[in-house]
Amino acid sequence: MTTIPALEIIKPGIHSLIQDLGRFGYQHLGITPGGPADLHSYLWANKILSNNSNMATIEIHYGLMTLRVLTDTRIAICGAEFGVNINNRPALNWQTHNVKAGDIIQYGGAKTGKCGYLAVLGGLQTEQIYQSRSTVIRDELSESTRSPLYKRQILPITRQSVKQLTAGSPTCTRVPRHYIPNYSTPLILGLLPCYQWKQLTLQQQQQLLTTKYQISAQADRMGYRLTGEMIANLPTTLTSEGIALGSVQLPADGQPIILLQDRQTIGGYPKAGVISVLDCSKLSQRQQGSDITFKLENPAVSRYKTQGFMHFFDL
């Protein structure tokens, strides 16, 4: 497959990464799946470009990134509101934009939300390791998948995608308004209890479900530590076991940790349960200090919502 340079990183921003759907089937080797922090925004960015759902994109955390376009193409901007400009003119969020060689794309700081996605027609063609282009810094799998984007880095696309652009396709496609989230609303996470839920006392269970937590400064792609009223006298550390996306760990300090895409593959803290992949996406868009509460979720309802989401995006 022939590639051509598409984007040059002028200013990499605070924490900008390459992400596709992730690296699955290798957790037994200690390799983390990775993948988009906000699956909802990532999938929409690819969908409105008519890309395959697994096309690699740029995941931008907190903004402040600048890029130069090196070839005529089409991009999609989705996720957090950064106040993006193309050649100093506002570029609306949640839609596609045609760009030409020499154009400058500038991201401001995050106004609402925390991470956004810049997708390119045909997907970015960075190095693929273990069947994925996703960046997971802690795994150090290769030079290109272990570090954030850096100044003067060149990101390629396929030559075929440029031909696809000239073949004639919609100049602008928008995400329907009712699919665009509001990242400013209080977030209630649906908890699906695991088998260790019954090891908690009724008082501990009620405390977890009634406490208003805040997102602490220790919140990243590995996990979000919450702060609130301490849950005392928790069960002791257990034998290490596999960790699922969205696991709600209860460490000895009594402050929950919700594990996300770059989580460790095994762990020994007790767990109250998990939150769904859809709630993980919502959580990843909340900034430090945001309020978080839990409610018990009906497993059948959660499964129905998740299956509908996956079917909509052909996953």
For position 307, what pLDDT does the model report?
97
Q: Are 145 and 134 in contact (CB under 8 A)?
A: yes
Cα distance between residue 53 and residue 27, in whole Å: 22
Domain check: are 294 and 192 in the same one?
A: yes
Average pLDDT over residues 85-99: 97
Average pLDDT over residues 181-208: 95
Domain check: are 106 and 233 in the same one?
A: no
In percent, the amount of the chain with pLDDT more than 90 equals 87
DSSP annotation string for 78-100: EEEE---EETTEE--SSEEEEE-
Confidence category of residue 169, pLDDT binned at 50, 70, 90: low
Confidence category of residue 191, pLDDT binned at 50, 70, 90: very high
Domain check: are 174 and 32 in the same one?
A: yes
Instruction: Give yes or no for residue 166 having a pLDDT over 80.
Output: no
Cα distance between residue 201 and residue 185, in whole Å: 31
Q: Can you read off the two tokens belonging to residue 177?
A: 């308004």
Q: Domain boundary at 149, 179, 209, which? A: 179
For position 170, what pLDDT does the model report?
63
Confidence category of residue 164, pLDDT binned at 50, 70, 90: confident
For position 165, what pLDDT does the model report?
73
Cα distance between residue 149 and residue 59, in whole Å: 10
Residue 292 φ then ψ, to 5°: -135, 130
Cα distance between residue 164 and residue 73, in whole Å: 9
For position 246, what pLDDT does the model report?
97
Task: Give 245-296 pLDDT, tens digit per residue.
Answer: 999 999 999 999 999 999 999 988 899 999 999 999 999 999 999 999 999 9
Question: What amino acid occupies position 15?
Answer: H
For position 143, what pLDDT does the model report?
81
Average pLDDT over residues 110-125: 96
Residue numbers of the domain that contains 31: 3-179
Task: Give 214-223 pLDDT, tens digit per residue.
Answer: 999 999 999 9
Domain check: are 170 and 199 in the same one?
A: no
Domain check: are 37 and 145 in the same one?
A: yes
Domain check: are 102 and 198 in the same one?
A: no
Q: Which residue has the higher pLDDT, 141 or 216?
A: 216
Q: Domain boundary at 179, 212, 232, which? A: 179
Task: Give 31-87 pLDDT, tens digit per residue.
Answer: 999 999 999 999 999 999 999 999 999 999 999 999 999 999 999 999 999 999 999
Q: What sign does the CA torsion over 307, 312, 313, 315 have?
A: positive
Domain check: are 154 and 231 in the same one?
A: no
For position 145, what pLDDT does the model report?
84
Instruction: Give yes or no for residue 91 having a pLDDT over 90.
Output: yes
Residue ranges of alpha helices (H) inside 200-298 are 202-210, 277-284
Domain check: are 223 and 253 in the same one?
A: yes
CATH code of the domain containing 248: 2.40.100.10
Q: CA of 168: how far to CAs of 98, 118, 126, 161, 165, in Å?
A: 12, 21, 26, 12, 6
Q: Can you read off the two tokens belonging to residue 247?
A: 């696991």
Domain check: are 9 and 137 in the same one?
A: yes
For position 168, what pLDDT does the model report?
57
In 3-state terms, what secondary structure has residue 303? helix
Strands (E), the chain: 3-11, 15-19, 57-61, 66-69, 73-81, 85-86, 89-90, 95-99, 104-106, 112-120, 154-158, 187-193, 213-219, 223-227, 241-242, 247-249, 257-259, 266-267, 271-274, 291-296
Domain check: are 191 and 170 in the same one?
A: no
Domain check: are 136 and 209 in the same one?
A: no
Exposure of 181 in the CB half-sphere (CA atoms within 13 A): 28
For position 268, what pLDDT does the model report?
85
273 C-beta neighbours (distance < 10 Å), count? 20
In 3-state terms, what secondary structure has residue 165? helix
Instruction: Give yes or no for residue 146 having a pLDDT over 90.
Output: no
Domain check: are 68 and 149 in the same one?
A: yes
Instruction: Give yes or no for residue 167 having a pLDDT over 70.
Output: no
Average pLDDT over residues 178-189: 95
- Which long-range contacts (C-beta less than 8 Å, at least 24 apart) are formed by 145-149? 145/18, 148/12, 148/15, 148/16, 148/17, 149/9, 149/12, 149/13, 149/16, 149/17, 149/18, 149/58, 149/65
Instruction: Give yes or no for residue 111 having a pLDDT over 90.
Output: yes
Write down the mean pLDDT value for the chain.
94
Confidence category of residue 103, pLDDT binned at 50, 70, 90: very high
Q: Domain boundary at 159, 179, 199, which? A: 179
Tell me how far apart the 2 most distant CA atoms of the chain are, in Å.
Answer: 65
Instruction: Give yes or no for residue 133 having a pLDDT over 80.
Output: yes
Query: How many domains are there within the chain?
Result: 2
